[in-house]
Structure 1
Amino acid sequence: MSTAAAPAPGDATAPPDPRRWSALAVGLVAAFMTLLDVSIVNVAVPSMERALDASPSDLQWILSGYALTFGLVLVPAGRYGDAHGRRTAFVVGIALFTATSALAGLAPSPQWLIAARLLQGAAAGIVNPQVTGVIQELFRGPERGRPFGLLGATIGISTAVGPLLGGLLIALGGPEHGWRWVFFVNVPVGVVAVVLGWRLLPTRPAGRADHRRMDPVGVVLLGVGVVLVLLPLVQEQWRDPAKWLLVPAGLGTLLAFGLWERWYARRHEPLFDLRLFGLRSYVLGAVIALVYFGGFTAIFFIFTLYLQNGLGYSALLAGLAITPFALGSAAASALGGRIVNRYGRPLVAVGLVGVVVGLVGVVLVLGAVPDGAPVGWWTAGPLLVAGLGSGLVIAPNQTLTLAEVPVPQAGSGAGMLQTGQRIGSAAGIAAVGSVFFSSLAANDGDWSAAFRHSLLLAAGIIALALIAALVDVLHHHR
């Protein structure tokens, strides 16, 4: 007895999946959880240092190892989801993330915690391309604006609210063991996400299933290239200037990856389809995302340092001070997703202007703050403006970037986009952090001056993303 094949997800002739919003909700929770662990651990560093007697090198690996392995697996994981369906990759990734979160919380030594964080980052890299791929598969055309808006809000909130949630958990758990709850909080959420993900996510690939090999040479070349580029950026404890030779070596390896993929695509399905770089919307959006995340992520790194180490704020108060940015980002992301199809790239440009204006406002306000005044109250207004601007950048830019990407390449396309974001984040934190500590040394420990100088650099990096957006706006106007 034979039955007709069901329409593939993303097929324009198929009726909308009635469970698509439920599947999206599960994906957003998973994305929030994995992206939160990029920033939430920062405020737990002093507690981990005391509890585990961790060295500065250990702490650097605990923080940066997650980002390193996260960026390493994004494209292969996205390609696997494209070829074999999202559900298996999503569920395996969330199960691994949940297990490694528990292992991190139980860590008796720095080495144990480093190993758990490396595995946790890889699990996060498996999950995230599936979330974007699900949106591409289950939603069509202009309808994608709203779910991408919600995803953008999730990205913005998870990055900005990490210090606040981390501070709350440390306050509740106590200075000795509170840092463990930063990891344990993922466990119950992860268990629920595994169950619901298995029930709700698409089981079939968006196109014809490809059960052939996963381009192992491409996987190795891309992985080595990403590691060589990221390693000197995330390992600030390495003082030898020779480490920067890894960056051109990594770029050369990525060039070899591109040449290999071009040759391989003539014979088989490649790891990443280079034809996506022929899409103007994809290339420009990827450049804006890479540059924007270089400035955006660094803001919270230096602000947390300034508040906790410079002003003596608790982890909780430092998190509260950053909350206006998170609130503004959440509100504007939801709106931006709804109106991006009406306004296009000019909306992203307006958002970038808002971020730059807000950050410059923070610098001006800090220059006028009286001694002993509550800095968090003074910076709340301009941070809210910057957050509103950020909400009009992340979600709309992601929607526009992936709009023309074919559904069968949705996972690998999103994976490459997010790999660029990880590289941008690492490069931005390295550059802005370097200016922060250099200024701190040059100004006799003046934390406010160091923060203002480094924040101006972050604003300048974001201004470069604004230039890229304006070039596209002018091109369309002509």
Structure 2
Amino acid sequence: MHDRGSTGGTMSAAQTPQPVSAAENRRRWQAVGVGLVAAFMTLLDVSIVNVAVPSIDRALHASSSDLQWILSGYALTFGLALVPAGRFGDARGRRNAFVFGIALFTVTSALAGLATSPTWLVIARLLQGAAAGIVNPQVIGLIQQLFRGPERARPFGLLGATIGISTAVGPLLGGLLIAIGGEEHGWRWVFFVNVPVGILAVILGWRLLPGRATGQRGWHRLDPVGVLLLGIGVVLLLLPLVQEQQWKTPWKWALIPAGLAVLVAFGLWERRYGRHHQPLFDLRLFSFQSYTLGSILALVYFGGFTAIFFIFTLFLQMGLGYSALVAGLAITPFALGSAAAAVLGGRIVNRFGRPLVAIGLLTVVVGLAATVIALHLFPDAPAPWVTTGPLLVAGIGSGLVIAPNQTITLSEVPVDQAGSGAGMLQTGQRIGAAAGIAAVGSLFFSTLADSRGDWTNAFEQSLMLATGIIALALIAALIDIWRTHNHKN
């Protein structure tokens, strides 16, 4: 496909698609279907556990630090595994990496559900997050491998819908499982539900996913120094963010510049290593404006997007006293809007390019601003009803952001680097999400303390910050569109 929101040439990944037989087309869609189910399951576990925290607290007598690690440890190891796992899939075959990742995710989900102590659950969540990080770049790499050019818009649209739905519907599904299983043991079903789906995904993944792609070399050195440097850099960046509420010392923020310094060292090493070997991540991908800008947009957008559900769940459950099920239902309009728009966005992104992402970002900003206004104008009305319309609008906008941006961002990435390119893109999303939750959550709790328990005011203030973060992504998209327009003229 040709990226209308960027300049520059195209690479082998953007060639005109070759005709495929009906049987081959059916098989590749079956493979993508398995990948989407796996992606949904792993991304769901980012948010589904939020509503289970009170039940876990009562059942396991977990400390606040334990609960924080149960929530954020998953995101930490998820982000840590993405790029190495993507590179491994590129080098050794995505089916092997996918099946291993899903098998590990299934086992660790069962272990999490069987936990009898907070430490047991924390360790299971850390391993579960690493497994999720192994699986997700394989799904994107699989789409890059099986589809070419404009063909990718539809599967990427479905993947965007999967991302949007899984993130937003997590609290609803968690609330349903807790309601069915009971307050004492319902939280265990949040993890057990992954087991039968995971077993089926392992079987179907092995049968349907292609082995090593034609033209892939059988062995690549997997750049252990690069893996180590990237891992240390990501951990140093994420730790103070995911532990923002628990580590009270201001010295924690010193880890962020240290992490950035390590990532600079990673970049220098990759450039040197890449002269003679296949690096963990090919920095030349950043020479494509589509990849660079798309990665920045994803990082910033997820900084605002993910934080919304964190503070909304707290506001409804802890502030207004709604059940986990009602809190989940309140987010459903966003999920439905996101799903519908993501499928549409995937179909029309080839026609509109980056301006479609800008329209989506603007719609999200309008929807979230309307949410704040609605709560302010109708303070005595039930919050889940008042926010339904605005959150539906915001969800529609989100669907026009995630899937189209992903399609454009990866449009010029070669197939043999699809896994590592997707891994770096998703690493940025995880870092953005952690930073957004830390910043928005910090404002939420500080406003709550300053206003002496005014939950509505705390939610409105923090939601405005999340909206402002998304507005930054909109500004970046508009600047890119303006530059591209001037370049063409």
By the TM > 0.5 criterion, same fold?
yes
Give distance in 1, aligned partners of 2:306 and 2:321.
22
Deviations 1:244-291 (A, max 9, x none): 111000000000000000000011110000100100000000000000
Who is 1:351 aligned against?
360
Query: How far apart in 1 are the matches of 2:156 and 2:213?
Result: 20
Percent identical across equivalent pairs?
A: 77
1:334 paired with 2:339, answer: no
Q: How does 1:114-133 map to 2 (within 5 A)?
A: 114-133=122-141
**Structure 2 match to 1:79:** 87
Alpha-carbon distance between aligned partners in 1 of 2:156 and 2:119, rounded to the nearest angstrom: 38
Output the CA distance in 2 between the equivalents of 1:208 and 1:69.
28
Cα deviation digits, residues 84-119 of structure 1 (max 9, x gap): 111000000000000000000000000000000000
Structure 1 counterpart of 2:378: 369
Which letter maps to 1:42?
N
List per-residue Cα deviations over 1:182-235 (Å, max 9, x = no partner).
000000000000000001111013532241321000000000000000000001
Query: Of 369, 382, 387, which residue of structure 2 is paired with 1:360?
Result: 369
Deviations 1:126-184 (A, max 9, x none): 00000000000001100100000000000000000000000000000000000000000
Do 2:221 and 2:277's aligned partners in 1 also have CA atoms closer than 8 Å?
Answer: no
Residue 146 (str. 1) matches residue 193 (str. 2): no
Aligned to 1:459: 467
Per the normalisation by structure 2, the TM-score is: 0.95
3-state SS of paired residue (1:43): helix
Q: Which residue of 2 aligns with 1:181?
A: 189
Q: Which residue of 2 aligns with 1:387?
A: 395
| Aligned partner (choices 433, 446, 451) of residue 443 of structure 1 | 451
Letter of the 1:342 partner, please give it: R
The reply on whether 1:63 has 2:49 as its aligned counterpart is no
Residue 278 in structure 1 maps to residue 287 in structure 2:
yes
CA contact (8 A) 1:206 1:407 kept: no
Runs (5+) with no aligned partner, structure 2: 1-12
Map Cα deviations across residues 386-441 of structure 1 (whole Å, 9 max, x no partner).
00000000000000000010111000000000000000000000000000001101
The count of aligned residue pairs is 469
In 2, Cα distance between equivalents of 1:97 and 1:140: 30
Q: Provide the residue aligned with 2:314 in structure 1.
A: 305
Q: 1:432 aligns with which of 429, 434, 440?
A: 440
Contact 1:83 1:205 in 2 (8 A): no
- Contact 1:264 1:270 (C-alpha < 8 Å) held by counterparts: yes
| Equivalent position SS for 1:176 | coil
Equivalent position of 1:216 in the other structure: 224
Aligned equivalent of 2:108, options 100, 104, 117: 100
Distance 2:472 2:379 in 1: 32
1:477, CA displacement in angstroms?
1.3
4+ aligned runs moved over 2 Å, structure 1: 10-18, 205-208
Per the TM alignment, residue 125 of structure 1 is displaced from its structure 2 partner at its CA by: 0.2
Q: What are structure 1's unaligned runs of at least 5 residues?
A: 1-7
CA separation in 2, counterparts of 1:322 and 1:368? Answer: 20
Q: Distance between the aligned counterparts of 1:171 and 1:214, measured in 2?
A: 46
Contact conserved, 2:339 with 2:399, CA < 8 A, in 1? Answer: yes
C-alpha RMSD of matched pairs (Å)? 1.3
Q: Is the 8 A contact 2:17 2:149 kept in 1?
A: no
1:240 maps to: 249
Among residues 310, 318, 324, which one is paired with 1:315 in the alignment? 324
Give the whole-Å Cα distance in 1 for the aligned partners of 2:105 and 2:99: 10
TM superposition shift of 1:369: 1.6
Distance 1:206 1:31, change over 3 A: farther
